Each structure stands twice: as C-alpha cells, then as structure tokens.
Amino acid sequence: PLPPSESTPNQSHADHGHGSSAVGGIPVVTFKWHHVETPYQVALWILVAGLAKLVIEANHHVTNVIPESALLICFGFILGGIIWGADKVQTFKLNPTVFFFYLLPQIILDTGYSMPNKLFFGNMGAILVYAVIGTCWNAASLGLSLWGCHQGGAMGDLDIGLLQYLLFGSLIAAVDPVAVIAVFEQVHVNEVLFILVFGESLLNDGVTVVLFNVFDAFVSLGGARINAVEIIKGIISFFVVAFGGSLLGLVFGLLISLLTKVTQKVKIIEPAFVFVLGYLSYLTAEMLSLSSILSITFCGVSCQKYINANMAESSVSTVRYVMKVFANGSETIIFVFLGISAIDTEIWVWNTGFILLTLFFIFVYRIIGVFFLTWILNRYRLVPVEFIDQVIMSYGGLRGAVAYGLATLLNESKIKEKNLMICTTLLVVYFTVILQGITMKPLVNWLKVKKAAVSELTLIEKLQSKVFDHMLVAIEDISGQIGHNYMRDKWNQFEERWMTRILMKKSVRKSRDCVFKVFHQLNLKDAMSYVAEGERRGSLEFVRNESAFIDFKKKFVDDCSGAMPDITACMSDDYSAIRIDQVPSVSLEMHEQNMKGVRETEDINTHHLLQQHLYKGRKQHRHRYSRSHFNVNKDENEVQEIFQRTMRNRLESFKSAKMGVSPPKKISKHTKKDQQQKVPNGKSTENGKRYFSGDEGCMIGNVCIPLTPFPLGPAGIENPAYIPDLDPMAAEIPPWLAEYDAGPVAPSQRAQLRLPWTPSDLGRLAPLRISTRSNDSFAQADAPAAQQKDDEPPTPSKRDGRNM
C-alpha cells in the first residue's frame, strides 16, 4: 500500500519493477498494472491537470473574461462526464484525506511565505474581526435561519436538527483562500482590500475547521447532553485550537530560521528544509488537534524574513519557485477535482428549499456581516474601508474546496442528509466560484474600485517611507499616545535586538539595510541591463570586455580577498586615467568648455539607453540565471563585483566632479599604450576597461553626477580611432569564452604591482575623499611602485596632471 504521494511515483514504480522481476521466473515482459496503479494514476492526474491549465492559459481572451478557476471546474465537469461515460460509476473524486494532507498544505504554506507582512500585521485587527466574528456570524446566522425555515416548513421533510444545521453552517461559512486567491489575483484591487479579503480567507479557514470540530463534537454528544459546561468547553477549545495552532506555527517558523542559519554547507538541500519543516508544522498541529491551517500559515509568515536573508540567493529563488509550483499545481488539481466530483448520481439529492435558501442566506448574511463589521471597524481605522470596497468584500465571499472537504468528512451515521449537504456545498461552490468569479472583474471595473498601483522600485520612495515611519513614531511619542506606530516601533526594536540576532546569520545581519538593499537592487538592474544592451547591439564588444573585466577582477580579488575595496579603488583610479587616452585630441580646456553641452547630450543618450533596455527583463534573467544553477558562488561574486565596481566608479566620478579637477595624465597615456602593445592579449581587456568605465560612468551617473573627467566617455564606442583596435576574431567569441583567455594575462602587471601597497591604500583612501591635495599622497604612495616598473611615468608628472 503505497501512499499516494505525488513526488515519488516514478521511483516507486522502479522499485517494484525490480522486486517482482526477481520473483516471477524469467518472463521477458510482464504487464503489471496493479503494481503501479496508484502512483501511476496520481502522476497521470497531475499531468492531466497541468495540461488542462496549459490549454486554458493559452486562450487568453477566454481567461480575461472567465477566471481560470471557473474554467478548471468546467474542465472537471467534462472530464468527469467522460469518465462516467466509460465507467458508469464515479471512480474519482476529491478525497478529504488527499485534500487535507497533500493538496492544501502547500497552498497555505505558499501564501504564508509570500505574505506581505507589514500589510498583513498592519491590518491584523480588521482581519481578525472579519475572520473570527464574521465567520461565527455567518455560521450561526445561516444555521439558525435554515433551521427556522425548516421549522416553518419551507423544506419539506428533512431529518436535520438544529445542531446539524449549525454544523452545516459552520462548514460552509468560511471564505476559501484558494478560490479567493484565484479570482483576486486576476483583478488587481488595491492592496488593503486584497489583504482584508485574503487575510480573512486564510485565518477563517482555521476558525471554520475549529467551529466544525466543536459542532461535530456537539452532534456526536447529542442535543440532550449539551449543557453550559460543554458549551464553555467548546468556546475554550476554540481559543486553544486557534492560538495553539498559530503558536506552533511560529515555533516551527523560528526553527526553520535557526536551521537555515547553519545550512550554507548543504546549499543543494537547503530549500528542502523549508518545505519539510513547513509540512511538519502542519502535521504536528493536526496530530495535536490544533488548527493546522493557522499553524502552517504562521510558520510561513514568521520564517520568510529570516530564511530569505540566511539562505543563498539561489536557494531563496528555488524555494520561491518550488512553492509556486506546488501551490499552483495543487490549486489546479483541486479545481479540476471539484468539477469531477459533481459527476456522481449518488450525491445529487435535490431539495429546492434547502439549496436555494442556503444560497440566498449565504449571500445576504455575508453582506450584512461585512457591512456591520466594517461600520464598527471604520470608527477605529485610520483609513476607513470605503463603501465600494465593502461591496467587493461582500461579493468576494467565495466558497471553495475546504467547505467541500469538510462536507465529505461528515459522518453519515449521525447526519442522515449528508448527501444533500454535499450537494448543496458543491452548488454553493460552483455558484460562487463560477458566477461570482466571472462577474467580479466587470463589477470591479464598473464600481471603479481603487486598483493597486504599479510602483517602480525607487530609492527615494524607500527612503521616504522609512522617514514616514520614523516621523509617525516621533509624533506619537510627542503627542504621548501609544498607537499603532508606537507598537510597531517597539516591535521592530525588539525584533532587531533579539530575534534578528538569534535567527539571522551574522554576516547577513551586518550588511542589512533596506535603503542600501534597494540601492543594491537598482545597481544590479543597471548592470544587467548594461549587459543586455551590449547583446542587443550585436557587436558584443563592450560586453565581451566587460565580462573579461569581471573575470579578471574576480581572479584578482580571490587572490587577495579582504583588501578588495581598496584595490578596486586604486583600479578605478587607474581606469579613469586610462580612459582619457581615448581622446588624445581633445584638450583639457575644451573639456571644461564643452562640459555642460556634452553632459547634456550624454544624459539624453544614457536616458535613452536606460529606457530602452530596462524593459528587457527576460534577457537579463537569462543572463543572470544561466550560470547560477551549479556554480552559485561564482554568480554571487560576479554580482558583488559588478556592484562594487559600479559604486567605485560612481564615487570616482563624483569625486572628480566635486573637486572640479580632471585627472587626465597625458604622459601616462603613452605608457599605457606601450603597455598594451607589449601585452597583446591583455589589450582587449584594457579596452574593455576603458569602454566599460566610460559607458557606465555616464549611464548610471547620468543626471546628477557630472562626468567631468570623462566627458567623452560614450564617444569611445563610436570613436573611429578605436575601432581598429577591435579584434574581429575575439568579437565573435561569446563573452563567457573570451573572458577566459583574456583574463589571466591582463591583470598581471598592474595587479601584482598594486598588491604590496594594499595596507597603505587603506590609509590614503580616507584623505582622498577630502581634498585634492590627497592626490599627492596617492601619487607618492604609487611612486615606489612606479619605479619598480620601467615604463611607468615619473611621479611628479603624474601629480601635475592630476592637479591641473
């Protein structure tokens, strides 16, 4: 009896094949369907569901109108019909064990992991009110109303008591996260509305399961034996189950965070820990009869920050993708099976009164509940939930697979009308997912619901939002009230002081700063778009050289890690010197005169350049990810280097701009050229350096950093004097190949030259920033090195050139 696990069908297939072939004598070929039946079917179902999704996604004009979830259910209808036609009996349906153990956890873990935490906890109060009070209200009002109508004789002869009605109410009360995500992801409503609906759907799942269990216990107990004590016990168990589950999830989340702190040695299986422990949190909660959904939700919520910081970048993206794969796959299978489950004569017990009244009450009580609770909440909310948003919230009360799963869990011996309840639940699910799902988008458009703003990543916004945070806290302190911001500030401090210290790797903790992170990301984007631009141009000249440059630098850095920043500083100094070589015909005076004009045209150029390639996300990613699969460190270093270099270059250009001094060295340029000719292989690299710094300097520092020292930077590319330098053979070699042979040769001279001076570099870096004078110290520090090497220019001339 193999468990119907999704991940191992092929493996178990192979195992069985081996085992039985040894037993069965010497048959050449045997057909052993039964050995593989279960895993085979599971694998086939996954395949079918995946293909269904593929087909549906391919028809974009259809998914624009009808949400995917509705289409998948319809596909399930068709599939179920075919199976029914073949078998004349319902072979497959959504089994609660499979659903709750294998399909649901992944979806919930994914939602917890990708939860926008600030938004979620910022609206926690409202979400809890909707999830707890709203759900209880829905369950109670529906159960009581149905019971009332039953007593009034609206449903004919049904064997359902008050408790059973309440049980039914509790199972169908909850808004379903799977259905809500599926529908709301396609309509981009504003984030507050989204988090309210979504958070409610997540948390009320826990609530509804708890309610269901409590009422189930009541039903088993029988009406007569329920007294006040039992009811109080029920209420207590409600809180224990809900909070216990959440707490357990938190514990597991912290456990994952702690574990990822020490897993850098096993990068390959690092992501697996997240999944396994997440799943274990679900199972543990189930074992302790706590709320497993809440448990896995909070597990994801609490660990996301730390594991994203602790794990290697590739592991983080692995976790992210695999989560999505699992969640999306499960979601697809769930919807397909919801459709298939309908094709079963057994469950279709029609009772017009019961079904229609259920539909009606669900709809009406949802509206009443939302509006009433919002009315109360709005008295305490800083930004009230608007009327239109309330309409969408009440309309977004989609029911889904959790309700169906719970309905199939009903005990037929105690609830005679189980099939009617399943049938009604299914109808409610179809009604809400298909009809409300389809009409949601037009409704959102028609009501002009505030949509989510697509915001670009900018430094100033990040900085400003931090400023806002601090400002609000300060104002709350001054006005002497303990408000939302005060609490959040206190929590942040606590988190910073304890949690982060314990749960985050030390190295990560140090380099963590949100403004800086945005800066880093922007730089990465620039660097990647720079590469993409080179590929687009086709010549690949400067890309090739850039890669060579990177390689060169990496090798160099590996040799003397630790002193890297200083060395890079020196190197960028050198490059700025080299770059001037490109335009020997232009005199310094001309530089200064034309500076403004040139800068403006540069700005236009670079703006254009940036704009053009910032959109090419795909290419960037391909470039970036193609290498990251196996050699993680390499990629990371590379990225780090691009970043480091960018910053050094900017600093350089800024420094020169601020001092108003161009550091061209007319004498040194000749020597540099000599040098290049001496080392033919290194030439391309040197070119690259020039190209690179010229282009990049203006590209990134386009507007605000006047490119004083290299006003003709971009001209280097079109500069005809330059083109003969290009090696036609090398140009055809892709960068990743070219870098190899160019790399080792080029750095040798300069790099080795610089090395012994690293400690003094450190010392002179500081004064360098402060005044022009410091150039002297720089040059003097260089002097001995220069003398060691024959073709280096004499020191005084160098200094003169700089200070001119």
* Contact residues: other proteins, CB under 8 A: 380-384, 453, 455, 458-461, 463-468, 470-481, 483-486, 489, 493, 510-513, 515-516, 519, 522, 600, 603, 646-648, 650-651, 654, 700-706, 769
237 vs 378, which CB is nearer to other proteins?
A: 378
Minimum CB distance to other proteins, residue 557 (Å): 17
Long-range contact pairs involving 36-39 (C-beta distance under 8 Å, separation at least 24) = 36/9, 36/12, 38/2, 38/4, 39/2, 39/4, 39/5, 39/8, 39/9, 39/10, 39/12, 39/13
For other proteins, give the closer residue by CB, 48 or 463: 463
Nearest Cα residue to 192 out of 390, 47, 2: 390
Cβ proximity to other proteins: between 127 and 149 the closer is: 127
Task: Tell me how far, at minimum, the Cβ of 127 lies from other proteins, in Å.
Answer: 17
Q: How many CB atoms lie within 10 A of CB 223?
A: 11
* Rounded CA Rg of the chain: 33
User: Based on CB atoms, which residue is closest to other proteins, 81 or 565?
Assistant: 565
Please name which of 502, 432, 558 lies closest in space to residue 172, comparing C-alpha atoms: 432
Q: Which residues of 574-589 are buried (b: 16+ CB within 10 A; e: fewer)?
A: bbbbbbbbbbeebeee
CB of 547 to other proteins, least distance (A): 23
- Residue closer to other proteins (CB basis): 65 or 457: 457
Q: Which alpha helices (H) appear in 115-156, and where do they start and end?
A: 117-122, 124-128, 135-152
For the CB of residue 467, give the shortest distance to other proteins in the complex, in Å: 6
Q: Which is nearer to other proteins, 66 or 388 (CB)?
A: 388
The answer to whether the CB of 301 falls within 8 A of the CB of 39 is no
Q: CB 203 → other proteins: shortest distance, Å?
A: 23
**Whole-angstrom Cα distance, residue 160 to residue 142?**
14
* Number of neighbours of residue 434 by Cβ within 10 angstroms: 19
End-to-end CA distance of the chain: 85
Closest CB to other proteins among 15 and 592? 592
What's the min distance (Å) between Cβ of 458 and other proteins?
Answer: 5
Q: Is 538 left (phi over 0), alpha (psi -120 to 50) or beta?
A: left
Residue pair 258/502 in contact by the 8 Å Cβ criterion: yes
Residue 775 CB, nearest approach to other proteins (Å): 17
What is the nearest approach in angstroms of other proteins to the Cβ of residue 121? 16
Tokens found for residue 504: 């985050």
Cα–Cα distance for residue pair 444/391, rounded to 1 Å: 10
C-beta separation of 120 from 195 below 8 A:
yes
Least Å distance, CB 496 to other proteins, is 10
Q: Residue 451 forms beta bridges with which residues?
A: 189
Q: How many CB atoms lie within 10 A of CB 674?
A: 11
Q: How far is the CB of 450 from other proteins (least distance, A)?
A: 10
Find out whether 65 and 239 touch, Cβ atoms under 8 Å. no
526 or 686: CB nearest other proteins: 526
**Residue the block writes with tokens 């210290």:** 501
Residue 189 β-bridge partners: 451
| Min dist. Cβ of residue 460 to other proteins (A) | 5
Let me know if 358 is exposed, middle or buried by CB neighbors in 10 A (0-12, 13-18, 19+).
Answer: buried
Find the shortest distance in angstroms from Cβ 472 to other proteins. Answer: 6
Q: How far is the CB of 332 from other proteins (least distance, A)?
A: 34
Cβ proximity to other proteins, 157 vs 456, nearer residue: 456
Closest to other proteins by CB, 512 vs 616, is: 512
Residue by residue, DSSP assigns 35-89 as HHHHHHHHHHHHHHHHHHHHHHHH-HHHHHHS-HHHHHHHHHHHHHHHHHHHHSS
Q: Which of 121, 519 has the CB closer to other proteins? A: 519
Comparing C-alpha atoms, which of 383, 312, 325 is closest to residue 637? 312
Q: State which residue, 408 or 485, has the beta carbon closest to other proteins.
A: 485
Select 376 or 471, whichever has its Cβ closest to other proteins. Answer: 471
